[in-house]
Structure 1
């Protein structure tokens, strides 16, 4: 029987039961894809991150939901850096992660003890608001944007917090051009002590609603950064958990900042 190191971490969280759960599993080399997918399904959290060291301060990184491999995952990247800094003896200033579809991503510690991730800013474009989207969300947005996901902008943060989205309908929205509308985010300016309030629904990736989503906040940065023209704080209002995410659009890059807490440390047996 083979045993692999295993860390379950709440990312974008300052304490247990906040943010988003990620499992981080360091390996000497990646196991076959079907094995990685089976492990992620067994872990049954939003993402499992697999990391393989390739050089000094450099790791290959892959992310799997319980059903698919994804091109970018912010909270599991933050969790991977937390595992390296807090449990695996890494004492460098910055961690570099090489990924298959999102290039090299870096994570460093900030003076206030949080982690800062450097991600590419996505290209976005205005899109039409359609009746099927409004039906799935139970409300008609002010505007919509396309990019890695479909984004619906509302007038009031309370519209986001109280939203009763129809997950089955969101999952059936399908694809329009290159926008995967089965993964859909909603946002509004303002909120309780924050600049932006959002939520993210991802049934197309096997996640009805995600508690904290770094890749989604890259798109939030692209939408709200030009309007606010400064770093800003976001609250992802997942019912019962919630996540605080610092966001800053810097040219064609996005800085995401947050905390992380280890919940479980152990071994995964194969």
Structure 2
């Protein structure tokens, strides 16, 4: 069985920057085991699979090389980029079991805008020892939402200087860890560690900005923010916070278009 595949760098306008995602459009769902095998073989942060249903909505699922992921922002951006290149539409609706409906638009310039559910984080009373031992610099405070522990630092320099211990942070699974601070040139910066679900450090993580943007919007007193994910590849995210939603916009660029051949029926 032959399937189309695209590899897209998300949250960047340059190839080899941002976060890489594979996109595999489907006519119908493959067995879960086969989709996981494809994602493992691709060995990029996530592979997005989607199927267009009779209502014109695209059902979407995301797999890291290790496991299925409940919510992935950069692979959603990559999937939207592929659809926009192939169809003359101004908006797309994705549906995912874990987060519901995600609406995507062509934004100003060459950006794509995604509407995410706001996923606020709350203070942690008892910080896990694995988190404190897994980060080389102690955070000023720790928050938590349904996706990750949020380690807050005073300075961008602290976030950039962090060294993570993946063995210790893996013990926090299924939760990940994001480190964040006010930015020197941007409103805020972050780095994302996810050894339990994908790898040591994710280059750019759109989904966690559904938590980070509301946090910094409140602390900085502004609804529109520009965020930098300060990984080795780096990525830029434009965020706007509303009452129940976070709008996250970014660029994308295609690196690869091709065909994969997999066993029929798994």
TM-score by length of 1: 0.92
3-state DSSP of counterpart to 2:53: strand
Query: Unmatched 5+ residue regions in structure 2?
Result: none
Pick from 257, 264, 267: which aligns with 2:256? 264
- Is the CA contact (8 Å cut-off) linking 1:189 and 1:195 kept in structure 2? yes
Q: Which residue of 2 aligns with 1:81?
A: 80
Inter-partner Cα distance in structure 1 for 2:217 and 2:54:
34
Inter-partner Cα distance in structure 1 for 2:130 and 2:195:
16
**Residues 232 and 11 of structure 1: is their aligned pair in 2 closer, same or farther, counting only changes over 3 Å?**
same
Q: Which residue of 2 aligns with 1:96?
A: 93
Deviation >6 Å, runs of 4+: none
Greater Cα offset, 70-79 or 53-62: 53-62
Residue 97 (structure 1) shift: 0.3
Pick from 124, 133, 139: which aligns with 2:121? 124
Matched, 1:115 2:108: no
Residue 131 (structure 1) shift: 4.3
Q: Which residue of 1 aligns with 2:62?
A: 63
> After the TM superposition, which residues 229-244 of structure 1 pair with which residues of structure 2 at under 5 Å, given as runs?
229-239=222-232, 241-244=233-236
3-state DSSP of counterpart to 1:223: helix
Cα deviation digits, residues 203-255 of structure 1 (max 9, x gap)? 1103211001011111102311222322101111112x100111121111010
Question: What is the RMSD of the two structures over their aligned residues, measured on CA atoms?
Answer: 1.3
- Is the CA contact (8 Å cut-off) linking 1:57 and 1:92 kept in structure 2? no
Cα deviation digits, residues 23-65 of structure 1 (max 9, x gap)? 0000100101111111111111110000111146521100001
Residue 83 (structure 1) shift: 0.4
3-state DSSP of counterpart to 1:194: coil
**Residues 30 and 266 of structure 1: is their aligned pair in 2 closer, same or farther, counting only changes over 3 Å?**
same
Q: Which residue of 1 aligns with 2:18?
A: 19
3-state DSSP of counterpart to 2:208: helix
> After the TM superposition, which residues 1-270 of structure 1 pair with which residues of structure 2 at under 5 Å, given as runs?
2-55=1-54, 57-86=56-85, 89-128=86-125, 129-148=127-146, 149-174=148-173, 180-181=174-175, 183-191=176-184, 193-228=185-220, 229-239=222-232, 241-270=233-262
- Is the CA contact (8 Å cut-off) linking 2:179 and 2:191 kept in structure 1? yes
Inter-partner Cα distance in structure 1 for 2:130 and 2:25:
42
Residue 123 (structure 1) shift: 3.3
